[in-house]
């Protein structure tokens, strides 16, 4: 009996030692620093998303997980269209990424770039916070990353150096810088413009020299970068697409963390996402839209389309919508349309 108790004691000790070793190995496997990729840095809402997330994770893990921000997609030489592949391959540990930039690798993400699908912020929320958002996260997980939360880059409005844009005819022949996603080239071609794909780093000197007439981006970027100084004297708010952001982690990195730390990182992403969405919408959801007033005060002509004027753009881009529906997935588009129709405004 005594011998058996001794054996049981030894077994318990071995188990405890094994558990300690496993825990120690897991802890030892943590990297001293994790690399987070961002296209934009602070003071933009996008950059703030990364900073808030990193700060919350460091605080809540008592420094076990330290994250360094790499804005300007500097980990991949500034090529934002390569970010998702680099994340999946482990070149990047984690990211707050754009659905537009990742859509060449994950075709379903083109949903958010379907022209004039989302008429208001309630429509965006109906998608990201509902069943469509859950479907997107399953798709991203299958594509090789761990998605945790949604953020927002905002509605993309059009600016130019030539004249107010009130109708598709006003865009005819204009050279417009677009992101490197084919649906954007299709949309601006349908509107009679001459779309030119280039990185944002290349776009700024092209706008300043007049080689490119205009561009489309969220309005916070206009104020942060003072785009009136690169010839952008006209702004039209048309809300043709919005760009949700996604907080993700590389799968191997995720698996290296304890379940407790995974839960902390997930909750921190959700908390950061909520804060960042509020930052991205600030000045645009209020009745007097102070951001538009700030832009007008810079000597810029701000045009807000009437419903009838906007409808002309919707009609002109409808063939692009229909063309891309099979690529995105007809069932997914139908589910999105249904969710938006049922939204609470």
Q: DSSP letters of 215-278?
A: EEE-HHHHHHHTGGGGT--EEEE----EEEEEEEEEHHHHHHS-HHHHHHHHHHHHHHHHHHHH
Q: Angle 330-341/131-143 helices, nearest 10 degrees?
A: 150
- Taken in order of first residue, the domains within the chain and their CATH numbers are 30-153+243-281 (3.40.190.170), 157-241+286-341 (3.40.190.170)
The contacts of residue 143 (CB under 8 Å, 6+ apart) are: 84, 88, 105, 106
For 156, the 3-state DSSP assignment is coil
Give me the residues paired with residue 149 across strands: 247
Q: Which two tokens stand for residue 287?
A: 């009745």
Kindly report which listed range (203-207, 210-214, 323-327) carries the lowest average pLDDT score.
203-207
Alpha-carbon distance of 212 to 189, in angstroms, equals: 15
CB 292 within 8 A of CB 237: yes
Residue 10 has pLDDT above 90, yes or no: no
Alpha-carbon distance of 268 to 112, in angstroms, equals: 24
Q: What is the separation of C-alpha 245 from the centre of its chain, rounded to a whole number of angstroms?
A: 2
**Nearest 5°: phi and psi at 174?**
-70, 140
Residue 249 has pLDDT above 70, yes or no: yes
Q: Which two tokens stand for residue 219?
A: 């309005």
The proportion of the chain whose per-residue pLDDT surpasses 70, expressed as a percent, equals: 92
Alpha-carbon distance of 237 to 305, in angstroms, equals: 7
What pLDDT score was predicted for residue 87?
A: 97
pTM of the model: 0.90
Q: Which one has a higher pLDDT value, 200 or 319?
A: 319
What pLDDT score was predicted for residue 2?
A: 45
pLDDT tens figures, 56-96 = 999 999 999 999 999 999 999 888 889 999 999 999 999 99
- As a whole number, the mean pLDDT across the chain is 92
What pLDDT score was predicted for residue 4?
A: 46
């Amino acid at each position: 009996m005594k011998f058996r108790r001794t054996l049981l004691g030894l077994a318990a000790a071995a188990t405890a030692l094994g558990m300690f070793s496993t825990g120690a190995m897991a802890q030892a496997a943590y990297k001293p620093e994790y690399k987070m990729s961002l296209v934009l840095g602070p003071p933009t809402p996008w950059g703030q998303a990364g900073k808030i997330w990193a700060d919350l994770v460091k605080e809540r893990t008592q420094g076990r997980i330290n994250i360094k921000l790499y804005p300007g997609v500097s980990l991949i030489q500034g090529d934002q269209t390569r970010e998702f592949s680099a994340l999946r391959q482990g070149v990047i540990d984690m990211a707050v990424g754009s659905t537009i930039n990742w859509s060449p690798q994950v075709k379903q993400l083109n949903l958010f770039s379907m022209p004039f699908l989302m008429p208001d912020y309630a429509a965006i929320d109906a998608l990201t916070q509902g069943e469509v958002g859950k479907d997107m996260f399953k798709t991203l997980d299958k594509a090789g990353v761990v998605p945790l939360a949604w953020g927002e880059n905002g509605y993309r409005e059009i600016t130019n150096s030539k004249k107010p844009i009130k109708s598709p005819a006003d865009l005819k022949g204009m050279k417009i810088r677009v992101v490197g996603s084919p649906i954007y080239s299709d949309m601006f071609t349908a509107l009679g413009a001459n779309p030119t794909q280039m990185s944002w780093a290349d776009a700024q000197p092209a706008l300043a020299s007049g080689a490119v007439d205009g561009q489309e981006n969220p309005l916070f970027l206009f104020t942060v970068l003072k785009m009136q100084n690169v010839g952008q004297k006209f702004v039209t708010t048309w809300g043709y697409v919005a760009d949700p952001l996604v907080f993700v982690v590389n799968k191997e990195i995720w698996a290296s963390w304890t379940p407790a730390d995974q839960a902390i990182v997930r909750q921190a992403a959700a908390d950061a996402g909520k804060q960042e969405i509020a930052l991205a919408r600030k000045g645009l959801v209020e009745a007097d839209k102070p951001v538009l007033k700030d832009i007008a005060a810079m000597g810029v002509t701000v045009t807000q389309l009437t419903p009838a004027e906007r409808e002309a753009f919707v009609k002109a881009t409808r063939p692009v919508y229909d063309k891309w529906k099979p690529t995105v997935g007809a069932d997914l588009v139908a589910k999105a349309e249904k969710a938006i129709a049922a939204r609470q405004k």
